[in-house]
Structures are given as structure tokens and as C-alpha cells.
Amino acid sequence: MQTHEIRRRFLDHFERAGHTVVPSASLISQDATVLFTIAGMAPFKPYFLGQSTPPYPRATSVQKCVRTGDIDNVGVTTRHNTFFQMAGNFSFGDYFKAGAIEHAWTLLTAPLDEGGFALDPERLWVTVYQSDDEAIRLWQEIAGLPAERIQRRGMDDNFWSMGVPGPCGPCSEIYYDRGPEYGVEGGPVADEDRYLEIWNLVFMQDVRGESDGAGKGDFPILGPLPQQNIDTGLGVERLAFLLQGVDNVYETDLLRPIIATMERLSGVRYGAEHTSDVRFRVIADHARSGTMLIADGVTPGNEGRGYVLRRLIRRAVRAARLLGVTDPVMPTLVAGVRDLMSESYPELTSDFERIERIARTEEQAFLRTIASGSKLFEVARDELRAEETTVLPGSTAFTLHDTQGFPIDLTLEMAAEAGLTVDVGEFERLMQEQKDRARADAKARKGGFADLSVYRGLLDQGVPEFTGYSELQTEGTVRGIVVDGNLADRAGEGQIVEIVLDRTPLYAESGGQDSDAGWIEAATGRGEVIDVQKVDRKLIVHKVRVTDGELVAGSSVLATVDPEWRLGARQAHSGTHVVHAALRQVLGPQALQSGSYNKPGYLRLDFAWDAALTPDQRAELEEAANRAVRADLGVRVMYGTQQEAQAMGAIALFGETYDDIVRIVEIGGPWSVELCGGTHVEHSSQIGPIALTAESSVGSGLRRLEAAVGIEAFHRLAAERTLVSQLAGLLKVQPAELPGRVEALTERLRSAEKELASLRTAQLAAASGRLVDDAQVVGGVSLVAAALPAGTGANDVRTLATELRGRMQDRPAVVALFAPGEGSAVSFVVAVSPPAVQVGVRAGDLVKAFAPAVGGRGGGKPDLAQGGGTDASGVPAAITALRDDLAARAS
């Protein structure tokens, strides 16, 4: 049975049983404590925590998930995957243990023609929490399982919690006996390779407290939940390899074809040798995970989600190179994932061009990284050879890994080729320290998870009405006042509090648009609104500074939006849509927005693109945007289902979450159609001028545009006009003649610099002869040590030092030159002739001897070292220290 069919049967089964089918949430987690969606229940977490009221009593989904905690084990075993699909059914105070067991058993064992999976009931085992006698009884009554195929296990195995205080409960895990060829008899407690876990049923019935110790189960049970819930998770990939009659997930229909592609590209056979097999599995897993992450709006970067994606892609590329494939592989792999997964995830086809471009760009960047990292490695290798050492410090390997993205296995391989070893112990220690810091940070975030239960009662009173699309003033009632996380009756002058109204015209920050400014007035007092945010995407919460009197819960108020602020906000948000449409017009439909921010007078738009815009493209983009403004295009707002919006060609912002009914903003008909909840102008001419102010890179394959909008754009252009006028006056030309005059001045400056360089070269050449003639023999070595004139460039110092050394190649010689810089700074270069190196004189050692005299440091190779200091007055003392060191070597 194909994996797509497994998904379909699962959802159909639970839909027939009265469950609402909920589409998979994005892999980008809405939970601030984690980067990615890591479990099927994650989108329903607010319901289980009691932060939101579930809109349905029972639900089902097949959730795409990514877990990267065991990324280093991927491929080493066949049990680890980063991307997987978790099928689940959920009950929110509806059915409980009996219902969950009956649903699961029926689906697993029902014949294929009845919509089931037709698993042999005689090969199914279950485990239960050690004291859950009720579950044992239900398994026997509902499923007819004999007592010997029901095993009790402790809290570490069969008790579930989120890892923090909150809902928890016992669970039952369903296992399938794969047969004696896979291990020993005795059920799951004896062998979890033979007895494969396929489904976990969590009976969420208790509330746990803070952890009392280091163990997984060291926490108190505080009491029962107000209502009992069900959360289950069936591993789609695990069930797939059982139903497809293969040994592991890498041999299923969604991964084995990727391995086959790599067999063809590499000429290596899968299954012939363990090391190669690991590389095949890494490629298959990481290519799929990376593709799915890009599809959900993640772009490669150096932190957070972007770093994880970058690591996945680079591990896949590295594994391909170790298999002997030197040509780019990501375009082929991404296309393979699309072909295998698009039946369940059609966006892989519709958005393929963008996905493929990002993956390809990241691979190209990594290949450049390998080249630059190799150069750094070669420098370290040469220094070790000069020092007659064969162990590469772990800190060097860690730097290559952490700053260059250089995989440790590549460092180990190159070190072995150079006859070196790597201090792996130090490397692993530094890696562990980094992981500990990351883990501590994650724990802090998890422990700091905001207790939003105070808002539950406010939201249960109904979703506040947002009136700001049609008015700037609204009469409403104070539904609640929150002070330091607790409900309060009133707030007095000087306090900063959070206020929830039943109706408000003030826009809460979302969709890239900054929150409105304004005020809330009552008969008893007045407050300035300094921020507006949403809790659980529904509850509008105003942060208010009480400026006069007091605001009282339950009282009537007048909420007002600052009209100037809203005007600027509307201009900027509509301007963002216009710039996005113009961008796609200039660069093509693949230039999709991947993030934005706008506030009065300013907009910022990030978009997927792998090269800087040319001056012509920037000019064309700015003109296209302003032509749209001048055309006075109509702005129309509509509402519809996501399917209707998609049929209109509406663009959704990556990483955003949308309701079933969406708001569609259209500017100029089909020219710009986007899903958007923000505030907008009524005609494009109301946006005013748009002036691009910056275009830059914010990550691999990601660019950022910034622009001034409306009156701010006018101010920007006026300032530039004034600047041009001032320059024209200084140069005594007309503004139109400025480019020519500046170009002429620049050329004259270049010519003057060339003349100065020629004069310096002639002076240095003359000086070099005198310096060689004045060389003194110290400790059997000819020494040239001199301070050069102030202003001598660092390159000139190095050039002169190497030239002087060249004149004394026939004898042991040392050249040390010092050049004062700005203030008290000084730079220096030490060059040592080959005969001097042969008798043990090394440039780096000499630098160590005299550098303290000028408050500096430096280093380099045995024959050439350089550095700098902060005290130019110490040059005479440094020369003396150099002489003393050479003399001491001879004694």
C-alpha cells in the first residue's frame, strides 16, 4: 500500500467517525519554544493547555513534522528521520479511552475493502502504563487481546507530558510483531526492533507539576484535568514499511527512489557497504526534509530554522561528494522529492521553481565554502608543519565547522590526507559546550512559556470585534484589565497595563503591519495605546499607558486610532503590495515575498532571489511601482475560502497561518492579489510616492528591499535634491553636469595616487640599497632593522621587507621594518632569508621577542611574519629587543 493511500485511509476513517479533518499546519512552529512542528498534537496545544476553546469536539490530521535532535544519527541507523508524517485523532472532552482504543483497533484490523489496513490481529501487542488497569480491561473487551499480549511499562515509556507543568496522562502503545527473523520473542519489553511501535494513544487526564529531579518522570501529579482529552499519533512512515513488506523506512515508496537516483549518479550500489549506505540514507532523508522546509517558507541562514535547513542541505551535498558525485545534486534531488510527495503536498509542484532555486543557490554557496574552508585548512596545515606538529587543534576544527560550515568528517579526511590527526576530543568538547548553551537557551524559552490562561476566560466571552476597516473611533466595553499577568479591576495613572475590549478599531500587529497608535478614553480616565497584539490569533490585547485618572473593568470607553498614524500605515501596507507586484513584474513570478514589515512612511520586503538587483532593475522596479500609484488603481477587498482565493491566484505569505475564510486584497485587478488582513488605501494614488532606499542580502537566496512611502518618500527625495544642489554649487556646475565633473575629479585623484605610488616606489628602491649597506651582523645574522617614514603603507612595508631579504638571499639575514600609522599605532614586518631559517631563526619567534615593546602582537610563517602595535614610541626598544634576541641565540 502506497504512503499516499495510507494517509487517505486514515483521514477517511476518522471523518466517517465524526472527526473534523484539519489540514497539516506549517512546519514553522507557532510555538515560540520550538523551531519546528515536532508532533501531530502541536497545532492543538492551545486546546490541551486550556488557552483556547476548541472549535470542534473531535479532530483528525496528518501533520508533517521535523525533528533534528538526532540529526547525527540519521543514516547511521534506519530508525532515525528528520522529516516524518504523524497521523492522529484528537478528542477535546468528547470520547476517552474506550473510544480511542475502538477507533484504532478497527482501523488497523479492518479489511482493505472496508477502509482498514488489514493487519493481522494476532501480531498486534500493546503496552499500558503500569497502574492503568482500566486500559488493560478495555483492550481485552474491545480488541479481544489476550493478557499475554498486553504489557505494563513504567513512566519513562508509557506516561506522557509536554515536559513542562500542564496536561499529562498514561498512554497505550500499539506494536506489530515483525517475526522471529527480526529479534527475540517476549513482546515490546524484550525487543523493540522485532516488535515495532506504530501508534501511541495518550489518555490525557491529569495535571502535572514542576519536575522534582533529573528523571523523565520526576514530577508530582497535582490532580485531574477539568476535562479528559485524547491525543494519538500513528507513524505514517512506519506503517508504510510494514504494509509495503520492506525492512525500514528508507526502502519505502517515498525514499527508495531518491536512493536509486543517487545510485545512478554515483555508480555506487546501495546495500553493498555500510559507510556508503549511511551516505545514501543521509541524502534521501535530508533532501526530503530540506525540500519540505523550503516549501513552508524557511530559507537557509546562520541561525534558527535557517541554520537547520542549511545544515541539512550541506550534509546531503557532502554525502553526495563522499559517494563520488562532484556535480551539483540538489536540483535533481528536489525534483525527485516533488515527484514523490506532491500527491499529498501539491505546493511542491506549484512552487517548484522557487524551492529548486533556493536549494540550488545554497548548494552553490556550500561548494564555495568548501573551497574557502580548504584554504583555511591549508594555512593551518602549513603552520603545523612549520612547527613540526602533526595534531590539528580541536579549536581549529571547531572554527572550521562553526564559522565556515565545514563538516568535521571533511576536516578528518583532509587531515588524514595531509598526514595529520585531529584533536577530536577537544572538538567534541567545544561542540558539547555549544549544544549545552543551545539547550540551556531552549530550556529557558520553554520554562518561560507565557501562562496565557488568564486570557482564556476573556476569549471565551467571544472574539473581540475589529471595526478598524470602516471606522477610526468605536465605543466599546472594557472586557478585562491584565496587570503583571493577573486580572485587575482597575488601572491608575502611570501604570502600563493590557486591556481587552469587546470592540476596537485599533489594528493588532500582524501580517507585517505594525500596530496602530491611539488612545482609550472613559469617563474616569484616559490611556495612550502604545502597542496592540493578538493572543492565540484571536484576542486583541491593547498595551496602554494610563495618562489621566483610571480605567475600570466593565466600563464604557471610546477607542480611537490616531488618524495620521493610520493614514501612513495604510499607505505603507498598500505600498508593500504594490512593490511586491512590481517586483514580480520586473523579475518574474518566482520573486515571491517571504516576509515584510511596514509602518507609517516605511516598508521592508524580503523576497527569494539569489543575486543583487542591477541598477537598471532597481530603476525599473521603482518606476513600475510609481506608475501603479499614478494609475489610480482600484483597491478591492473580498472574502472567500482558501480554495477560492487560490483559484483567483492570490498569494499567501510564507509562514503565516490563515483561517478557513480569508481576506483577499486586490489592487488593479489580477495585477496584485494577496491574502491579507491589514489596512489599505481605497485607490493606489493615495499611497503617494515610493522611493527605494536600500537593497541588500539577508541570507543565502534572500534579498531585502526597503523604501520610503508617502510624505516620507517626498522628504527623502527633497533631501537628495538639496544635496545635489549643494554639490553643484561647490563644484560650480549645473546639476546635470555633476556626474561628468565627479568622474573627472576621480580620474585626477587616481592619477595623483599613481604618481605618489611611483615616487614611493622610487624612494623605497633608493632606501633599500642604503639599508642593505648599513646591515649589521648580530649573532652571525645580517640584521636590517629600521623605522620607515610615517604614512608608509602596510603593503609598501611588506614589499620593501621582501625586497631587502631578496638582496641578502646568500647569507643568514633578518629584515625588520616598522611603519608608524595613525595616532600611536605602528605596523611591522619581519622577513627571514632561507639560510637564516635553516639555522633555526624563525620570523614568528622574533615577533614574540619584540612585539611587547610596541604593545602589539603578530605572527606568520617561518620566513615572513607581520603584525601591529599600539605604541609607536616603543620602536627603538623593539629594535633593541630584536638585537638582544639574535645575540642570545648565538651564545
User: Over the Cα atoms of the chain, what is R_g?
Assistant: 35
Question: Quick one: 108 exposed, middle or buried, by C-beta within 10 A (0-12, 13-18, 19+)?
Answer: buried
Alpha-carbon torsion, ordered 278, 279, 281, 283, to 10 deg: 160
Q: What is the spatial distance between Cα 761 and Cα 742, in angstroms, rounded to a whole number?
A: 28
Sheet of strand 826-832, all strands in order from the earlier edge strand to the far edge: 776-778, 781-787, 813-820, 826-832, 864-869, 857-861
Q: What are phi and psi of 836, to 5 degrees?
A: -70, -40
- Give, for 544, the enclosing helix (H) or strand (E): strand 539-552
Question: Strand locations in 183-312, DSSP E?
Answer: 195-208, 221-235
Of residues 504, 541, 538, the one with CA closest to residue 521: 504
Question: Alpha carbon of 363 to those of 30, 317, 335, 371: distances in Å?
Answer: 28, 7, 15, 13
- Give, for 496, the enclosing helix (H) or strand (E): strand 496-501
676 known ligand binder: yes
Question: Quick one: 103 exposed, middle or buried, by C-beta within 10 A (0-12, 13-18, 19+)?
Answer: buried
- Give, for 257, the enclosing helix (H) or strand (E): helix 256-266
Q: What is the spatial distance between Cα 625 and Cα 688, in angstroms, rounded to a whole number?
A: 10
Q: What is the spatial distance between Cα 847 and Cα 882, in angstroms, rounded to a whole number?
A: 8
Helix 408-417 crosses helix 424-447 at what angle (to 10 degrees)? 170
Whether the CB-CB separation of 109 and 116 falls below 8 Å is answered with yes
Q: 738: how many CB neighbours lie within 10 A of its CB?
A: 14
573 known ligand binder: yes
Q: What is the spatial distance between Cα 208 and Cα 588, in angstroms, rounded to a whole number?
A: 54
680 known ligand binder: yes
Under DSSP, the state recorded for 17 is T
Question: Quick one: 823 exposed, middle or buried, by C-beta within 10 A (0-12, 13-18, 19+)?
Answer: exposed
Q: What is the spatial distance between Cα 652 and Cα 642, in angstroms, rounded to a whole number?
A: 10
Q: Which residues are annotated as a binding site?
A: 573, 577, 676, 680
Q: Known binding site for Zn(2+): residues?
A: 573, 577, 676, 680
